A = this chain, B = another copy of it.
Amino acid sequence: MEFFKNISKIKYEGKDSTNPLAFKFYDADKVVAGKPMREHLRFAMSYWHTLTGEGSDPFGTGTMDRPWNELTGMEKSKLRAEVGFELMSKLGIDYFCFHDLDIAPEGNSLKEKQENLDEMVAYIEELMKKTGIKCLWGTTNAFTNSRFMHGASTSPNADVFAYAAAQVKKAMEITMKLGGENYVFWGGREGYETLLNTNTELELDNLGRFLQMAVDYKAKIGFTGQLLIEPKPKEPTKHQYDFDAATVMGFLRKYNLQDHFKLNIEANHATLAMHTFEHELNMSRINGMLGSIDANQGDLLLGWDTDQFPTNIYDATAAMLEVLRNGGIAPGGLNFDSKVRRGSFELEDLFYAYIAGMDTFARGLMIADEMIQEGFFDNFVKERYASYEAGIGKKIVSGEVGFEELEAYALTLEEIKNTSGRQEMLEARFNQYLYK
């Protein structure tokens, strides 16, 4: 059955097309920097925002006009899956990401939940075979149900820890069954509301224990996907333990987990932590920890996770520069953890939104590649730091000198000459690439 009857497969029509249902920049098989765009970008649909989100917010009920609105239970889950795979097929999206709770009804017990999952996994496997669409990553939802009100692996309640463990175990199993290339941990309610009632030390140690168990279980079942942690600084809890990339990397080092996890960086989480998106990507990359990307966009004048579809070309270009310098994002990808605005409630808005996001990143990829090919920025940076490639600088880098040698050297210096950072010139140059 076809749901988007008036919408055929979205085609690339070029930058001058006025067809809102066409790509202006994303040309999946066009080769950029040595491989097809689709292999650079590895776009994924987020199951939750696309298929289970209803458009509700803290001040209003759902608005979304969806074919499954009147259904319940397994029937609803199956219809969502079918619609989702049609959407991906028509958009030419090669991957999807999911929480267990997105794909199957929760049921009345853990056992029922697991059975529902098994049934839906089989159903989705069929759709995957039919369409060739793959699973980028799976995860568990250990934050929506009220039992997680005080956290999951950091809950003060050991039963909740156990329950969350059971959820991750199952979610990892089904991710493996679906051929998922990654498994993600987002610490939904792993944080605290007030220190007055919280033992942060025990909670963080428990989080470390939990992740070690995940590493152990992964080895045991032979899951070869990449494990990812997704930082977020706040919301829903006042303080989330996985505040930002630096915090998570420090945590991993403390608990000796740094060889088992990489990071899943989300643009809107970066800005909620008062960082740019590219900062978080950069910090992850230079630590060898850039694993995957949640592509969306926040509103820097608002203080919550708006999860907008990414349309800012500056941010997309800066992100793709980091991805290219990382040697690519695989086995991760670009998951659109983005939702249509509450007022964009019609089915076709899903297409407009994905097209907007895909075109933005395609354009970002093209510009970033051009920048790297041309070498202008790289050369500027290389020259700026040239003093570390010879003389005293080289000795600093190689560890040949200490404070005493450096003092002796400094005492011989006449006035120190710096060079301009040229920020304005570089920003103007960046702008030129937008119009090429």
| CA of A170 to CA of B411, assembled, Å | 12
Q: Tell me which of B214, B282, B345 contacts A420 (CB under 8 A).
A: B345
Residues on B with C-beta less than 8 A from A313 are: 431, 434
- How many of chain A's residues touch chain B, expressed as a range? 35 or more
| A426 in contact with B196 given A58-B236, A145-B61, A304-B304 (CB within 8 Å) | yes
How far is the CB of A343 from the nearest CB of chain B, in Å? 4
The answer to the question of A89 belonging to the interface, with a C-beta cut-off of 8 Å to chain B, is no
Q: Which residues of B contact A299 (CB under 8 A)?
A: 238
Instruction: Check B206 against A402 for contact (C-beta < 8 Å).
Output: no
| A137-178 Cβ-contact flags toward B at 8 Å (1 or 0) | 000000111111110000111111111011011100000000
Measured in the bound complex, the distance between the Cα atoms of B402 and A353 in whole Å is 39
Cβ A416 vs Cβ B57 within 8 A: no
B-contacting 9-mer, from A30-38, A74-82, A272-280: A272-280
Taking a contact as CB atoms under 8 Å apart, the answer to whether B193 and A286 are in contact is no
Contact A380:B162 (CB < 8 A) given known A303-B304, A432-B24: no
A9 within 8 A of B: no
- 1/0 per position for A1-36, CB-CB distance to B under 8 A? 000000000000001100010001000000000000
Query: C-beta contact mask, A369-400 vs B, less than 8 Å → 1, else 0?
Result: 00000000100110011011001110011010
Question: In the complex the two chains form, what is the Cα distance from A243 to B243 in whole Å?
Answer: 12
Q: For the complex, give the distance between the alpha carbons of A135 and B301 in Å.
A: 35
* Chain B residue contacts of A157, Cβ below 8 A: 387, 416, 418-419
CB contacts (< 8 Å) of A163 on chain B: these are 410, 413, 416
Q: Which one of B169, B236, B404, B417 lies within 8 Å of A217 (CB-CB)?
A: B404
A419 shortest CB reach to chain B, Å: 8
**Segment with Cβ contacts to B, from A39-47, A117-125, A126-134, A247-255:** A247-255
Q: What residues of chain B lie closer than 8 Å to A161, measured between beta carbons?
A: 393, 396, 406
User: A340 an interface residue at 8 Å Cβ cutoff?
Assistant: yes
With A59-B144, A204-B286, A209-B396 in contact, is A403–B253 under 8 Å at CB? no
Say which residue of B159, B194, B206, B346 sits within 8 Å of A416 (CB atoms): B159
A61 to B145 alpha-carbon distance, docked (Å):
6
A355 at the interface (CB under 8 A from B): yes
Q: How far is the CA of A38 from the CA of B356 in the complex (A)?
A: 34
Nearest-neighbor residue (CB-CB) of A60 within chain B: B144
**5 A–B contacts, CB within 8 A, in A order:** A60-B236, A156-B387, A166-B411, A250-B254, A341-B421
A55-B149, A158-B392 given; 19 more Cβ-contact pairs under 8 Å = A15-B435, A20-B425, A60-B189, A62-B146, A63-B149, A147-B418, A149-B342, A150-B343, A162-B409, A196-B426, A196-B427, A209-B399, A234-B274, A235-B302, A249-B254, A274-B301, A349-B422, A356-B424, A434-B434
